[in-house]
């Protein structure tokens, strides 16, 4: 039995603040403060804090990440697209980990994994630069053998398998197919000695399905925890998720 770790994605704390204060970033009333929430998550047992710095800055702002870097005591994982501006930012901040994700301005959330086969040439130098700065690098990919192999070839240490299709499966057939793909990708990644993470769309119900994917080390969960926190607070929401992650067979 291995202990599954939880990275809490707090982007939507920023979403709530921006809904009111996007045009008044320096207001003394700007709330809620993501840094305070990160501390509550850590005290409740989260193993890391995850944030996505998007090109359009729709939730997290540069200053948020700078303050998180100073205050997070567990581990800071920065999700980001591979653009020169954001890569320079990451090299200045030096988060513990970077998870490279595809990013389209118009999408509500990250919709698919990185296509490492198509973008290998652009990704590889970024991986090298980040690693030279001491940052561990993860690739957010669809659960496909070719993508796992490509992640290994670009030199990543970690893959985060996209669980969105499993989470949103409308039929049992699609659910079974997606679970098979995830299991297969996890086995493959572990053979390459890659750390296997998973994320996207995981909630308090479908976490039971996630237990059926082998070799997982860490889950990154955002929306469901933020939504649950409205009812039970962040401490409760994180504790409840951690309780559901116990007894992961590994």
- Given the rule CB under 6 A, which residues bind ligand PXP? 9, 11, 52, 79, 99, 101, 109-110, 140, 160, 199-202, 220-224
Of the listed 42, 47, 59, 79, which one is catalytic?
79
**Residue 59 or 215 having the CB closest to ligand PXP:** 59
Query: CA Rg, the chain, in Å?
Result: 17
Tokens of 52: 């996505």
Q: Minimum CB separation from ligand PXP for residue 155, in Å? A: 19
Q: Minimum CB separation from ligand PXP for residue 164, in Å? A: 7
Task: Respond yes or no on whether the N-terminal peptide bond of residue 110 is cis (omega within 30° of 0).
Answer: no
**Residue 35 or 198 having the CB closest to ligand PXP:** 198
User: Do 221 and 199 contact (CB within 8 A), yes or no?
Assistant: yes
Q: Minimum CB separation from ligand PXP for residue 110, in Å? A: 4
200 flagged as catalytic: yes
Q: Can you tell me whether residue 158 is helix, strand or coil?
A: strand
Separation of alpha carbons 33 and 110, rounded Å: 23
Residue 6: strand pairing partners: 219
Backbone phi and psi for residue 247, each to the nearest 5 degrees, phi listed first: 65, 20
Tokens of 179: 């679970």
**Residue 42 or 218 having the CB closest to ligand PXP:** 218
**Residue 26 or 119 having the CB closest to ligand PXP:** 119
52 flagged as catalytic: yes
Of the listed 97, 200, 215, 218, which one is catalytic?
200
Of the listed 52, 59, 162, 215, which one is catalytic?
52
Other residues' Cβ atoms within 10 Å of the Cβ of residue 152: 19
Tokens 């291995």 -> residue: 2
Q: Minimum CB separation from ligand PXP for residue 222, in Å? A: 3
Q: Minimum CB separation from ligand PXP for residue 27, in Å? A: 26
H or E, element range at 166: helix 164-167
211 flagged as catalytic: no
- Residues 6 or more apart whose CB falls under 8 angstroms from that of 135 comprise 90, 94, 95, 96, 97, 98
**Residue 41 or 202 having the CB closest to ligand PXP:** 202
User: Do 194 and 152 contact (CB within 8 A), yes or no?
Assistant: yes
Active site residues: 52, 79, 200
């Amino acid at each position: 039995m291995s202990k599954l770790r939880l990275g809490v994605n707090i982007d939507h704390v920023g979403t709530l603040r921006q809904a009111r204060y996007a045009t008044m970033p320096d207001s003394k009333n700007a709330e809620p403060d993501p840094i305070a929430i990160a501390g509550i998550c850590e005290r409740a047992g989260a193993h890391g804090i995850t944030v996505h710095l998007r090109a359009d800055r729709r939730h997290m702002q540069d200053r948020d990440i700078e303050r998180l870097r100073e205050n997070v005591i567990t581990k800071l994982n920065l999700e980001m697209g591979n653009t020169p501006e954001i890569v320079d930012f990451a090299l200045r901040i030096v988060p513990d980990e970077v998870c490279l994700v595809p990013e389209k301005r118009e999408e509500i959330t990250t919709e698919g994994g990185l296509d490492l086969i198509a973008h290998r040439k652009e990704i590889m130098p970024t991986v090298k630069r980040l690693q030279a700065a001491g940052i561990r690098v993860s690739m957010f990919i669809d659960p496909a053998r070719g993508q796992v192999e490509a992640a290994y070839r670009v030199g990543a240490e970690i893959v985060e398998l996209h669980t969105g299709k499993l989470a949103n499966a409308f039929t049992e057939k699609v659910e079974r197919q997606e679970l098979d793909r995830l299991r297969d990708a996890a086995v493959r990644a572990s053979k390459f000695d890659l750390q296997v993470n998973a994320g996207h769309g995981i909630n308090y119900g479908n976490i039971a399905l996630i237990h059926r994917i082998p070799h997982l080390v860490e889950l990154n969960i955002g929306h469901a925890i933020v939504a649950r926190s409205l009812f039970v607070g962040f401490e409760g929401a994180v504790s409840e998720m951690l309780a559901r992650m116990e007894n992961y067979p590994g």
